A and B are shown apart, each in its own frame.
Chain A
Amino acid sequence: MRPLSSLTPGERAVVARIDIPPEQRGRLLEMGLLPGTPVELVRFAPLGDPVEIKLRNYHLSLRKLEADKIQVH
């Protein structure tokens, strides 16, 4: 297992665990980012943060801070 933010652009993985506190991650889950969801890291923003990912056929942007806490395998 490794953090989502460690993927290289274009690399795919599957979400294993989300280590964001439960009371904060509600919207993230509702957006379909759940354990077992396949994700692709699309790119990092020009300043290195945030990061753009693709899941369930749409594009979503998250900060690295959060992407660090999303474990994938």
Chain B
Amino acid sequence: MKPFTVVLTGNPNCGKTTLFNALTGLRGRVGNYAGVTVERKEGSLTGADARFPVTLLDLPGTYSLSPQSPDEQIARDILFQRVADVPAPDLVVVVVDASNLQRNLYFATQVIELGHPTLLTLNMVDVARDQGHEIDTDALSKALGVPVIPMVASQGEGLEPLRQFIRSQASSPGTRHVIPREFNELPEAFGREAQAIETALERHFPHRSRLAAAEALLLLSDERALPTDKTNTDGNTNGNTANTRYPSALIEQVLSARRRLEAAGVDWRSTAIEARYARLFAIEQHVTRETPPPGELLSDRIDRSVTHRIWGPLIFVTVMALMFQSIFWLAKYPMDGIEAAVDALAQWVGSSMPPGDLNDLITRGAIAGVGSVVIFLPQICLLFLFIGLLEDTGYMSRAAFLMDRLMSRVGLHGKSFIPMLSSFACAIPGIMATRTIETRQDRLATILVAPLMSCSARLPVYTVLIAACIPQRNGWPGLTLLMMYLLGIAGALGMAWIFKRTLLRGEPPMLILELPPYKRPMLGAVLRQMWDRSKLFLKRAGTVILGINILLWFLANYPRSSELQHQFDQRHAQWKQAASNPPTPAETETLKRLDQEEAGEKLRQSFAGRLGRAIEPALKPLGFDWKIGIGIVTSFAAREVFVSTLSVVYNVGGDGENTASLAEVMKSERRDDGRITYTPLTGLTLMVFYVFAMQCVSTVAVVRRETNSWKWPIFQTVYMTSLAWILAFLTYQVGTRLGF
């Protein structure tokens, strides 16, 4: 039996997710809608009759049925039954913030007009009461023509009546008759045109005729509801167009209706909005009893400090500093633990399998490769935890409010700030955090520049290069590190500025940012959301990284030269003959060095080594040799691989954990002509290269998912790599001319 489908919808910040969590007992599943990266939250109603299972779907928060972001678009498409894998809702529960009645009812009445069986939950009645608004729910129910249940979802008040209502609806089969209602008193001319379009829609789409009235109103008054040729082919509409492909006669009818209205002096864009708000104002007056609030609200008092001219920025910097410090410090312990566990696992597998290629592939290719991603999990979890807390308390919108001025200088939005900041930890959660940005151009610009912020994977690269190349005195190491971070920020802002003026030119984005009242975060829900998002990261990046690591393992191990093998086998045999039993420490040392030499020689002969040589001409102008080339090739999938590759190339042994010994070896490394390889200039040039180069397959994969096309990740990789090469070239050439 098909479960009874309940769709939860409402404005952002109306407590919809809290309600969803309460109804599903925090056991909802999070996935994605097909083809889009909008989070799909779905769960079963706890306490439902086993014979009548109930599925709850939590739609993204939406201000209206004229979407401005992918999130809002999905919400609209589901309510309009345009999403193929989501069934028509059996019941729509609109959540309304009682303390913000008019604006919440704007969307709620739009939804009621769709003609689905609808119930309204009046949430946060306690907040409304504290502010002096007493709402008569019976009167509201009568005015809207749908049942209204008052509630305080965060305290569990009103949940039981809602559960009962859903249960009774689910268990009473048969079609529910819904009386169509409209909440607009439209001017006659407008109403007539809307009626004509409604009739045409009913004729063309008989299977969703109950939506026709609402759809006609949207088609007439929202210019973006009518797909033009451009939006029909645009990837942004995410393949849901099949159901919205209007016949050209209908499109022409709408366009000519608009022209007629314009000629009659009726603003077809704003008439319906104004008429609805006029009606809602009257309804609110009718159902609310106002008493003067007892004084300034707590949220407003908090805001006086948090957005204060002096305290505001200070608090902001402190919050951000604390957040990033704890991401680095707190994550360190679990990261060490994961590293140890991965090593132990690799060792165990390595020793319990017969040695050979398969063993090596599993331990070095698969386990070490996946381990190199899993190790970032603590940082990503913490980042999502903090972002969740900031969102849930309401601080996030204040951060956007504070930072908007700076971001607007490069043509971005206050909302781009958090994604860019997050990218210091890792570009993947940063790119995932861009989903809140409404304008497509702004979101793309943010995605394109986010990986320029120096992420945590660059840190090992910087560390080893600074140790090997930069004079260890007068604070040079710290200063160099700071310079690299600043260079990344400058690059990101500069490229955003360029993109917003060229490729992604558009109207300067309008900032329409709600500053919701502060509230106490729901820790359980925040933790749950953190885990859901982190899991997506693991699944997504883990699979790609696994594949790439297997490929890299192959490149670094093949082709095999039997001659080389023979040569080293002979030397091993020689060592065995000469060695005493048990071998002396000096002899063990010789064996170790022999093993390292073998590994290094094999790498040089491998495809990766050949690639390193093949790209040497491209690297020569940057002052890099083919050994560095191998490092760049192998670290294409993940930057930090550069370090472990160098330790193989330079026969340091181990897996590159010991950066101090690697740096020592690098310092004594000489070029073929006898000059020192790792001069301060070479180090600096390499670091500049790593600041700008993409070198992260997980990021490419995530950008592919988030933009739903290969175009952007390919463009991004090309532009970043070119930029890296050009800036490294300039660094090296200028440095050489200056005599470094």
Contact = CB atoms under 8 A, between A and B. Distances in A.
Interface of A: 20, 22-32, 34-35, 37, 43, 45-50, 52, 56-63, 65-66
Given A24-B510, A46-B313, A66-B510, A56 B515 contact: no
B508 A65 contact: yes
Interface string B79-99: 000000000000000000001
Contacts of A37: 277
B46 interface: no
Interface in B307-324: 307-310, 312-313
A22 B63 contact: no
Contact of A29 (B274, B309, B406): B274
Contacts of A58: 99-100, 103, 514, 516
A65 B509 CA distance: 11
Given A30-B64, A47-B406, A50-B513, A22 B269 contact: yes
Given A23-B223, A61-B515, A63-B404, A46 B312 contact: yes
B507 interface: yes
B131 interface: yes
B513 A60 contact: yes
5 contacts: A46-B308, A49-B404, A50-B401, A52-B307, A60-B512
A52 B410 CA distance: 22
A27 B512 contact: yes
Contact of A43 (B269, B307, B513): B307
Nearest to A55: B103
A33 B223 CA distance: 19
Contacts of B408: 49, 63
Interface string B93-111: 0000001111100100000
A29 B511 contact: no
Given A20-B510, A22-B270, A50-B414, 10 more contacts: A32-B106, A34-B274, A45-B402, A46-B310, A47-B406, A49-B404, A57-B131, A58-B514, A60-B512, A61-B404
B731 interface: no
A42 to B, nearest CB: 8
Interface string B373-408: 000000000000000000000000100111011101
A11 B319 CA distance: 31
Contacts, number: 115
Nearest to A49: B405
The 5 closest A-B pairs by CB, nearest first: A47-B405, A59-B515, A61-B513, A30-B64, A58-B100
Contacts of B270: 22, 25, 29, 34
Contact of B405 (A29, A35, A50, A52): A50
Contacts of A59: 514-516
Contacts of A34: 270, 273-274, 277
Contacts of B269: 22-23, 26, 29
A60 B274 CA distance: 19
A49 B516 CA distance: 19
A30 B401 contact: no
B280 to A, nearest CB: 9
Nearest to B221: A26
B267 interface: yes
Given A23-B223, A24-B510, A61 B401 contact: yes
B272 to A, nearest CB: 10
Contacts of A32: 102-103, 106, 277
B601 interface: no
Contact of B515 (A28, A29, A52): A52
Contacts of A45: 307, 312, 401-402, 404-405
A11 to B, nearest CB: 16
Contacts of B401: 45, 50, 52, 61
Contacts of A35: 274
B222 interface: yes
A37 B273 CA distance: 13
A35 to B, nearest CB: 8
Contacts of B308: 46
B277 A48 contact: no
A22 B408 CA distance: 23
Contacts of B66: 26-27, 30
Interface in B465-495: none
Contacts of A48: 405
B68 interface: yes
A3 to B, nearest CB: 16
Interface in B218-241: 222-223
A29 B512 contact: no
Contacts of A26: 66, 222, 269, 273
B53 to A, nearest CB: 36
Contact of B68 (A20, A27, A47): A27
Given A26-B269, A60-B515, A46 B510 contact: no
A57 to B, nearest CB: 6
A4 B278 CA distance: 22
A27 B222 CA distance: 10
A44 B315 CA distance: 17
B515 A63 contact: no
A24 B507 contact: yes
A57 B99 contact: yes
Interface in B288-324: 307-310, 312-313
A46 B402 contact: yes
Nearest to B397: A61
Which of A22, A32, A37 is the most central at the interface, judged by chain B CB atoms within 10 Å of its CB?
Answer: A32
Nearest to B404: A50
Contacts of B309: 46
A32 B270 CA distance: 11
B274 A27 contact: no
Nearest to A56: B102
B356 to A, nearest CB: 63
B370 to A, nearest CB: 43
Contacts of B406: 47
B400 to A, nearest CB: 8
A31 B516 CA distance: 13
